[in-house]
Amino acid sequence: MLEDLKEATLEANLELVRRGLVLYTFGNASGIDREQGLVVIKPSGVDYEALKPEHMVVTDLAGNIVEGDLKPSSDLKTHLELYKAFVSIGGIVHTHSENATAWAQAGREIPALGTTHADYFHGPVPCTRELTDDEIDGDYVLNTGTAIIERFAEIDPLAVPAVLVAGHAPFTWGKDPRDAAHNAVVLEAVAKMAFMSVLLNSQCGVSQSLLDRHYFRKHGAKATYGQD
């Protein structure tokens, strides 16, 4: 079942390891088959070195296991909430990459300070509010997804395919698992650049017109970047 999506999801998980975005069993990637309404996600607590396509867990959008002998990632409910709310996405990644997580722990959005950022994110990478004690003590993982969706009430998730969960870490998404992993790698680089830039000049910034120029040369109907 969903063998191609299992392969793609496994590859996205392994890309996080190759790029140094996860330690030990931290982090996870998932993908969705929209036609069947099924999600493929990394199993919980399994070493990346041991992962194989058959270890990927298939669930429905209610979180019921459809196929797999292992428990799904503990972040499953967050993934499911995002898939239900952001209907145009096809893959999600969660890491605790150092620089992006530092911004999340500080409760600060990553400002759009230059063209590298603008090539992928059309505006700051937002940070959620802190969860309440009741939300943490209740269905914490689901409530994390709810807080992300709330933060994106006026933000296009395709234009800014990443979020920082306050006190926690980043989530990214994309058209498929590979794209979501790609965005996680770029987010970590952008987070590091922003941190250094703010240290060097706390008043640094860049014009909206330059940000728009770089974002739209890669995205949208009039994109000029690449060979298409």
Annotated catalytic residue, options 4, 140, 212, 225: 225
CA distances from 181 to 31, 36, 93 (A): 11, 23, 6
**Token pair recorded at residue 2:** 């969903």
The residue type found at 123 is G
Concerning whether 120 is annotated as a catalytic residue, the answer is no
Annotated catalytic residue, options 119, 120, 133, 140: 119
Please, what's the b/e burial string for 2-16 (b: 16 or more CB within 10 A of its CB; e: otherwise)? beebbbbbbbbbbbb
**44 DSSP assignment:** T
Q: Which helix (H) or strand (E) holds 156?
A: none
Concerning whether 48 is annotated as a catalytic residue, the answer is no
Residues annotated as part of the active site: 119, 225
